[in-house]
Amino acid sequence: MDAPPERIVRAVNQGRWEEYLPGEHGPLFAHQQGSIVVVTHSEAEPKADLPKFSPREQQVLVLLGEGMTTAQIAIELGLSARTIRGYVANMKARLEAQNIQQLVARAVALGLFRPEV
């Protein structure tokens, strides 16, 4: 890999996956291992104890992954911003994330959704 590890981790935590998809070596995958994210060339094995998100939470997660704010998501889905913040808070608690960027990065690392690049 030609990028320094700190830059990769920062990009993963910010959801900027497209910077780390080398053409000749194939895609890279992020894996959550304890409190760190590991970037490898192989997908993580699915875990039986992964948190489950409701269809609406999944929808909010995907929109967060696309970079939308909670206010924008509320308008898009026709819900109140308070409701969206509630969904986000519940998902952050289940994934032990401190902020939205970490929530999205951990969800991707755990295979709960794949961002479109």
The predicted-structure confidence for 13-37, as pLDDT tens digits, reads as follows 665 544 454 545 566 666 555 555 5
Q: What is the dihedral of CA 34, 24, 10, 70, to 10 degrees?
A: -90
Residue-by-residue DSSP string for 40-108: ESSPPPP-TT-----HHHHHHHHHHHTT--HHHHHHHHT--HHHHHHHHHHHHHHHT-SSHHHHHHHHH
Looking at the fold, whether 62 and 105 belong to one and the same domain comes out as yes
- Per-residue pLDDT, 1: 47
- Domain span holding position 36: 5-40
Number of domains in the chain: 2
pLDDT, tens digit, for every residue of 42-72? 555 555 577 889 999 999 999 999 999 999 9
Looking at the fold, whether 36 and 59 belong to one and the same domain comes out as no
33: left (phi over 0), alpha (psi -120 to 50) or beta: beta
Tell me if 46 sits within 8 A of 30, measured CB to CB.
no
